[in-house]
Every structure is written in structure tokens, then in C-alpha cells.
Chains A and B, each alone.
Chain A
Amino acid sequence: MDLPDKLSRRRFMRLAALSAGGIYLFSRCAGPTAEWRFFTSSEARLMDALADQIIPPDEWPGGGESGVTNFIDKQLTGPFLRFQSEYRKGLKGIQDSSETLYHQRFENLNWKEQTSFLELMEAGKMNEPVWADGFDLKFFGLIRDHSMQSYYGSSRHGGNRDNISYKMLKLDYPFIVGQNRYKS
């Protein structure tokens, strides 16, 4: 056998066994599929609000509508696996601090309050113990970078819904360019 993707007999048997087994296993997760992969729905609501603060909506959709939350959620179960604990801790921290400072959940604060909250974070001036060792500044940086990656990256990664940022920047996507056509 000289197929491009080789599959040894042993590997085949292993996969066959797993597939058969797996089909039985499926029934275990047959319940309603969760809306998000990593985030809880309340974390996701918070993420939407944060994403809008970082990329505010104007005549173009902001971070929230553009799918930042979906992007981060998707990446957290893939390439960003290592940031899971930071997100869990950080999002809880934001919600707790918001309750302490304003007696409200972050997404219910008005626009200005949300902005000044995040300005404190960015400056590393949060007081609660979760933010010790500059975690406020670090976590803010993480959300900002990931939001930007989502907004300006390829939509295949889960963000940049309908290639909104490319349209905003008047970039052709996909780029229109012909082959290097010779004249016969």
C-alpha cells in the first residue's frame, strides 16, 4: 500500500475499536449541546461587554457583535488551552470587583463606568487581592490582544464575523488578483 496517508493495520484496528466504542459513548453526551465550549453563559455575557469596550461599536459592529467571545471561547479549547485558568480567574475577578465597587455586574454598568473600570485595570490599579502581582494589568492585556486577534484575524478562527474588519478597512477578502498571465 502506498497511499499518501498511510494507515497501518495496528492503527486501523485501534481506530476501529475506538470508533465502535465511541459510538456507544456518544449517548452520554446526547443532552442539549451547551451554547459555549468553555465559557459559562454568564461569563460569555461579560465577555461581550468587555469586547465592546475594547472595540466600541460605531457605524461598524463592535467587538461583541463581531464575535470576539466566540473566538476566545473557541481558542480556549484549542491553541489557548493554557489561558483557561487565567480567564476563569480573571472574569470572576472582574465581576467580584464590579460588585464591590458598584454593587452591580459589570455588563450592567453604564458605558462610562465600564470604561473607567477598565482604565483602572489597564493601569494596574485594582485593589482586590485577586489582582495581586499585576494580574489586573496582565489580564487586561490578554483580553485586549485576543480581541484584536479576533477582530482582525481570519474568520475561520471564530471571530471577524462576515469579515467585518476587512470590509471596514476596505480590504478585498479574498484578495482579487489574477494569475501572472503570459500573452500567447
Chain B
Amino acid sequence: MAGKSILHKILILAIPLFLIVSIGFGLFYGYWNSASPKKTCASCHEISASVEMITQSAHRNLACKECHGTALSNGVNSLREKGMMIINHIKGVADEDVKLNEVQILGVMDNCTRCHKTEQARWLSGGHSARYQDIFLNAKHNKTEQLNFDCLRCHGMFADMSIGNIVEPLDTTGPWKFKINSVSARPVIPCLACHQIHLAGMPQPRPDYSNPQNLFYGRITSNSLVSFYTRHDKIHVSAGNLPILKLWEGVRLVKVSSDPIMRNCIQCHAPNAGHQAGTSDDRTPRGVHEGFSCITCHDPHSNNARQSCNKCHPAISHCKIDVKTMNTSFLNRSSPNNIHWLSCTDCHKGGRRK
């Protein structure tokens, strides 16, 4: 029975060893999760860039785990990710392009919404909280336009899979279904589609209370608030670095707002490649509202534009009537006078009302 006694010995040795290692790990792990990121997470140079960025951002006072959870709380994926980083670290290959996968992005998002309840509630009330099932199983859309990789540019940008691994069949006859059911309720435009977190920002200074007139001049203009995530390069581009749309109405160049935030909107609500006004999903204001940014009317999270008219009208109304009651798509969805490109001549032909 020699075999059995060896096993015995191994067990006798192994159990205390296991306990010692576990206790040691537990102590260390406790320290790890509470110590300053500079001493822990950032000591791994693969992620020191991420740390450096966040120390300059609005979230500079938050511990990593507020958003990322702990090394173990995200389960297997998190462990695997960190495990791979360590393997590469030992091999001497810097794997700086550590990126979160979609499940991790959505995990982080659950943490954003812990603190940002208002924005979450607004987002939930608008079209941007659409889910995979709303976008990819829409029979009318799928019959007219065949599903392809490009759909994921504007909705589903964090998907780790190709379109063919999400929906089948890839044709215009259907019926369509998901290959993996767990994707169906995932949001297609999560917070991180428009927000980058590890981004050098400009925290606002505390004001000079003794002289309120100075407050205006002490404010810092920051473009760090909004970004756009491009699936193609898997990076965020901050709104200030996004291009301004050049839009043509026939041969006339439309005046387009230079508001950085509108540059985010028009990445998805975009005209065709020829940049002709009104093509594809273009809603760029022309006519009476030409040059306005989308968010002068639309709330950035709910998209609601119901309350916006009062910000400017009737003070600037030419017609001396409440604009909300006029014949536009605001009042009536079947009105020919679309609010986005309404002009005086739509209603007044040759100086007179039509």
C-alpha cells in the first residue's frame, strides 16, 4: 500500500501549505484593493497609461474598483484578462492595448449607472437604449437592407463577434434569429459609445465666492465630456477631435454648427457619402434653424425635444404666433414642414402665406 501512504503525506503537506498561501493571498488582496492605484494597479506598466489619464479626469478621486470591480468580482473573464497580462508581462511583451470586452464594458456600465442615475433614466426613456433584439431582428429593415459588418459601426460597436456570429441567416429572406441568445437584451448604444473615461480632462476649479463676477472668467472650457467610440480602430475620439460635417444642399454649402457635441451625433445620424443634405439619416438643421447644434433642441440622453422651443420662442418669432401650434412636424408628424429643414418660404410664397 505504498501508493496510499505517499498520497497521505502529500495531503498532510498540501493542506497547511494551501492555507498559508490562501491567508497570505487574502491579506495581500485586501491591501491591493484598498491601496492607492499608484502603488498597485499602476505598478504594472501595461496599464500605467490608463492610470495616468484617470488621475487627470473628473473621476480622479475614484478607486479603480468603483468601476472595474475587483480582480475577482468580474469572475472568469477578469481573471483571464489579468492572467494573460501577467503571462505577457513575464514574457516581456508589453500588452498595452488591453481592451475591455463587451461583457466587461457592460459590467462597467452597471457601475456608471450606480452614480449617474439621472442620465441613465433619461437614456432609458429615449431611442439610444435600443437593444440587440430591436436592431438586428427588425424584419422590415432586414428585408430591405441585408445585414452586414457595417451595421455594427453605429449600433453594437462593442460586439466581440462579427455580424455573422450574432445573427443568422445573413440574407434578406429570414426569419432571423440570434446565434447566442444572451445578446438579445444587450444595449446597442451603451454609455461608453459616447463617453471615454480614461481621458485627460480639466477638472473645474472651486470658484472665488467672494467675487461672483469673476466666476465666468475662471471657468475652464473642456471637451473631455463627450467622445465617440470608433469600432474600426477600437478607440475613442474626443468630440473636439471629430470632424465637422461638410454638407451640401445642391451646390450650396450648408452652415453647420461647430459644436463638438454635434460632431458626435452626426457620426451616426449621417448623410450619404456624397454629403447631400437630407440623404440617409441626415437631420442637420437647415432653413430657419440652420447652424444650430442638435442639442439646442434634443436632450443628450433622452433625446427629448419637447421642451426646447420655449428656450427661444416666441421672443424671436416672426409670425407672432406660438411656434408650437404652427404647421410643422413638431405639432403633427405628417406635416410636410419638417422641423429640421423648415424655412420661411415653406409657408410664405412670394411674401404671402401659402
Please give the residue numbers on chain A whose beta carbons come within 8 Å of chain B beta carbons, in ascending order. 4-5, 7, 12, 14-16, 18-27, 29-30, 33-34, 37, 74, 77-78, 81, 154-156, 162-163, 172-174, 176-182, 184
Question: B82's contact among A19, A25, A179, by CB below 8 Å, is which?
Answer: A19
Q: Please tell me if B272 contacts chain A, counting CB pairs below 8 Å.
A: yes
CB interface residues, B 258-312, toward A, < 8 Å: 266-267, 269-273, 275, 279-282
> Which residues of chain B are near A34, meaning CB under 8 Å?
45
Instruction: Give the top 3 A-B pairs by smallest Cβ distance, nearest first.
Output: A178-B280, A15-B83, A22-B86
Is B144 touching A163 in the complex (CB atoms < 8 A)?
A: no
| In the assembled complex, B96 has its CB within 8 A of some CB on chain A | yes
Name the distance in Å between B122's Cβ and chain A's nearest Cβ.
25
Binds A, one of B2-10, B185-193, B229-237, B329-337: B229-237
* A176 near B245: Cβ-Cβ < 8 Å: yes
A27 and B82 CA atoms in complex are apart in Å by: 15
Instruction: Report chain A residues within 8 Å CB of B269.
Output: 178
| Interface 9-mer from B25-33, B123-131, B208-216 | B25-33
CA distance A181 to B282 in the complex (A): 10
Give the Cβ gap from B79 to chain A, nearest Cβ, in Å: 6
* Given known A-B contacts A173-B243, A182-B145, A15 and B80 have beta carbons under 8 A apart: yes
**What chain B residues lie within 8 Å of A156 (beta carbons)?**
97, 233-235
Q: B residues 46-79 with Cβ under 8 Å of A?
A: 48, 71, 76-77, 79
- Residue pairs across A and B with Cβ atoms less than 8 A apart, 27 shown, are A4-B165, A4-B180, A12-B76, A12-B80, A18-B86, A19-B82, A19-B83, A22-B85, A22-B89, A24-B28, A26-B44, A29-B45, A30-B39, A37-B45, A37-B94, A77-B92, A154-B235, A173-B237, A173-B243, A174-B243, A176-B270, A176-B271, A177-B280, A178-B269, A179-B154, A180-B145, A181-B280
**What separation, in Å, do the CA atoms of A168 and B81 have in the docked complex?**
38
Q: Residues of A contacting B82 with CB < 8 Å?
A: 19, 22
- Extra inter-chain contacts (10) besides given A12-B76, A33-B42, A174-B230, CB under 8 Å: A4-B161, A15-B79, A20-B25, A22-B85, A22-B90, A29-B44, A155-B235, A172-B243, A173-B243, A181-B272
Interface contact A177-B272, CB-CB below 8 Å: yes
| B270 close to A18 (CB less than 8 A) | no
Chain A hits for B243, CB < 8 A: 172-174, 176
Q: Please, how many angstroms separate the alpha-carbon atoms of A19 and B275 in the complex?
A: 51
A179, B150: Cβ atoms closer than 8 Å: yes
Closest to A180 in B: B145
User: In the complex the two chains form, is B237's CB within 8 Å of A163's CB?
Assistant: yes
Indicate if B93 sits at the interface (CB-CB under 8 A). Answer: yes
Query: Quick check: is B138 within 8 A (CB to CB) of the other chain?
Result: no
Q: Are B76 and A23 in contact (CB under 8 A)?
A: no
Residues in chain A near residue B43, CB distance under 8 A: 26-27, 29-30, 33
Task: Write the nearest CB–CB distance from B71 to chain A, whole angstroms.
Answer: 7
- Would A174 and B228 count as touching, CB distance under 8 A? yes
| Chain B hits for A26, CB < 8 A | 40, 43-44
B237 x A174 contact (CB < 8 A): yes
The interface residues of chain A lying within 8 Å CB-to-CB of B279 are: 178, 181
Nearest A residue to B268 via CB reads: A178
B264 CB to closest chain A CB, in angstroms? 11
Q: Would you call B83 and A33 a contact (CB within 8 A)? A: no
CA distance in complex: A107, B2 (Å):
73
Query: Chain A residues with Cβ under 8 A from B25's Cβ?
Result: 20, 23
